[in-house]
Chain A
């Protein structure tokens, strides 16, 4: 067989095409083509490409950290962190605390992050302990942890002793509002940092730099001793054990890291959005992030920073431009929302059912 294959290869040189295809993978190829088609369509329909691209860039930076939160758990083999809402809520709590003290600008933003960190670490530890007990079904349990926490926190938002009148219900004087505007605090603080226009495209420099910084840190982390240990834990737990690695510790670490990244990601998301959304808003936060990671080429066995970046770009660009383009093409019909659901849930389904070799 192999000999035969080699012979054919030497006749027609498909080598480069083949390695490119193998590296890039079929799903990414399809989505890239679809994306290209959409851009082409937008161009034909004479839509404002600059705005489409600006929006895409913004959404990439906005969601990037949430997707990056998938990386640690994927690397150690815990799977996709479907309990992302847990970390997300830790971020929200930090954000609300910073608002309570009326902090603004970068001070407000970073105070929010600082407040959410210990909370994310603590809940991450408890979450990790739970996942350790249900080894093998982390993703399903994680999904329901996320749902349960969102529901439980609804009570917290109502009961929490916040006093800032801008935040609490106008009537009754108790309980946080469902949507808090960040306009006077730190809305778009990263987006606007060093932002500039290029051919009509707004580049949210600060936002992208922040995402890039964390990607770079994650890349470096995977090259430290702990990072390598996590990698081995995910790739082959028996190999890791025989190398003297404490697998349990690595799994705990990865879940805590993922939770922390989700908390920071939540704050980045909210500042870009301009509002803090409480109550049931974080309920489905995990799914777009999961879908993006999978589209990027991450599998339950193997994930890299590259997968995360590619996935975020493809998925978010697709979502951003699919809506206006389809709306323009199919006048009036709102097919884009359906397409969005099909793509994101279909992608999750595809990746989870895919038979991993080896």
Chain B
């Protein structure tokens, strides 16, 4: 979206700024230095010995996959309560070479650290000035305030407007500071947020948390130009993103996080998009050979086809996606959070409003009807295990068989009353015992409430529920999220077993590329609600990294 409301408000002067910057002579001093930062949540280490330093006027990009530890690192720098509530961290934060303790966002602000959030924190009914100056208003004393306290002082609007004007100008934004925020195009709101941060007189370091995620490309360009202007004025910038071309366009230094470790810090001039992509994804791939099949799946025999498929799932929108699924394969769906990979399964199964075409075995599926999807012999293991996947206070047995009862009339027996069928408790008990044994669910018995089970065993109950429907297609979303490593392997093994032994076609959505590469035949990578491309699991790290970031590859693998 090029801003239609204010087409000519952008000063042309920064246009020439939008060229990659040359090698900048950065000062020796540092604004912020992190030394040996280690942080763990409940025994899981999410940051390991991070060392990082930012100099005044430097744009420092931090890139990494989902779960690499970017957000934790930022929360830590900004003193978010979540860090302290979970036991703090180890290591030191230094500002200007002096160790500091940042225990609240307020303290961070006092130290001159600003943060521009992914979601806008603005009040729509206020003007730009009012938003920028909120809670930091400039006031003049009057009669009432002298008597009743400073809370009643008069707002000095001219002074506030002047300040806001200056902040907007620093960003190169020629927009009227008395405009209501609600009337601004989305892209401009981001600038108001930034203006608010730089208006704080002591602003020295601004953290941008994926600022371009909600922006159109032209707006993103403008934002990057604004960041460069800020850097020229000596403000240090930490820039978190996963768009590699943006990193290359503006940053001086690039740090790559992977699995909570800082893999490498590079200067832009000595690296390439390809190298960053490789470092982001790269890890030793332990892909043990999977058992073969009698006939390998091929494009000749499709089980499912999605055409121009759209899903309105908040935060995971699918926008006109096309995908062909081969009968009998394990298809992986990967991609970064927010790009729409999670929306696909939820849309097909009728849990979120969907449109377009879903064709299974040549028959068009009725959309937005969970029952139709289940009757088309598809089953779904939701990414939201506790929210969608389970009845937490009910027994394992009920959780496993309820969907089968409702959709397939299984586990019911006729009674002497005509037309009345009751739950066949013996059949349920026997079946549950068997499946508990088959899937190795660790529990005290079929009647244990699932709330008491560990994450891994809860996930097995979800799989058992889906498996009991004997589906032809099994959709699995984030099957290993929030479960420990040992259980992860078991769950993946189960999926392979379902596929090889029962011939189920499995479509697995996961944020963990590594696990997709371990068991999938093909991996479709979703970017901006569409399939960016399909790769073989043994494609190079570089190809995966590039495609995740939305780069089209010259050659795609079928």
Contact = CB atoms under 8 A, between A and B. Distances in A.
Q: Do A and B bind each other?
A: yes
Interface of A: 220, 223-225, 228-229, 231-232, 235-236, 238-239, 241-246, 301-302, 358
Contacts of B388: 236, 238-239, 242
Contact of A235 (B382, B389, B393): B393
B422 to A, nearest CB: 5
24 contacts: A223-B422, A224-B412, A225-B406, A225-B409, A225-B412, A228-B398, A228-B402, A228-B423, A231-B398, A232-B402, A235-B391, A235-B394, A236-B388, A236-B391, A238-B387, A239-B388, A242-B351, A242-B403, A243-B403, A244-B370, A244-B374, A244-B403, A301-B393, A358-B451
Given A225-B405, A228-B405, A244-B370, A239 B389 contact: yes
Highest count of chain A CB atoms <10 Å: which of B370, B373, B420: B370
Given A236-B388, A238-B351, 16 more contacts: A224-B422, A225-B409, A228-B423, A235-B393, A236-B391, A238-B387, A238-B388, A239-B389, A239-B402, A241-B370, A242-B351, A242-B370, A243-B370, A243-B374, A243-B407, A244-B403
Contacts of A245: 406
A236 B392 contact: yes
B232 to A, nearest CB: 50
Interface string B369-403: 01101110000101010011111111000100011
Contacts of A232: 391, 402, 406
Contacts of B370: 241-244
A302 B393 CA distance: 9
A242 B382 CA distance: 9
Nearest to B370: A244
A239 to B, nearest CB: 6
A102 B390 CA distance: 55
B349 interface: yes
B117 interface: no
A225 B421 contact: yes
A58 to B, nearest CB: 31
A238 B388 CA distance: 5
Interface residues of B, number: 33
B349 A242 contact: yes
A280 B127 CA distance: 56
A12 B181 CA distance: 65
B371 A244 contact: yes
A236 B402 contact: no
A254 to B, nearest CB: 16
| 9 shortest interchain CB distances as A-B pairs | A244-B371, A243-B403, A223-B423, A238-B388, A235-B391, A244-B374, A244-B407, A244-B370, A223-B422
Contact of B421 (A224, A236, A241, A302): A224
A10 to B, nearest CB: 17
A118 B375 CA distance: 35
A249 to B, nearest CB: 11
Contacts of A220: 422
A235 B449 CA distance: 13
A302 B392 CA distance: 12
B226 to A, nearest CB: 42
Given A242-B380, A242-B382, A358 B392 contact: yes
Given A235-B393, A243-B374, A224 B349 contact: no
B421 A239 contact: no
A241 B351 contact: yes
A244 B451 CA distance: 23
A236 B407 contact: no
A302 B451 CA distance: 15
B421 A358 contact: no
Contacts of A239: 388-391, 402
Contacts of B380: 242
Nearest to A299: B393
Nearest to B451: A358
Contacts of B374: 243-244
Interface in B354-375: 370-371, 373-375
Contacts of B407: 243-244
Contacts of B389: 239, 242
Contacts of B409: 225
Nearest to B374: A244
B478 to A, nearest CB: 15
Given A225-B409, A225-B412, A239-B388, A358 B420 contact: no
Interface in B190-237: none
Contacts of A301: 393
Nearest to B349: A242
A231 B451 CA distance: 17
A229 B406 CA distance: 7
B264 to A, nearest CB: 40
B412 to A, nearest CB: 6
A358 B373 CA distance: 29
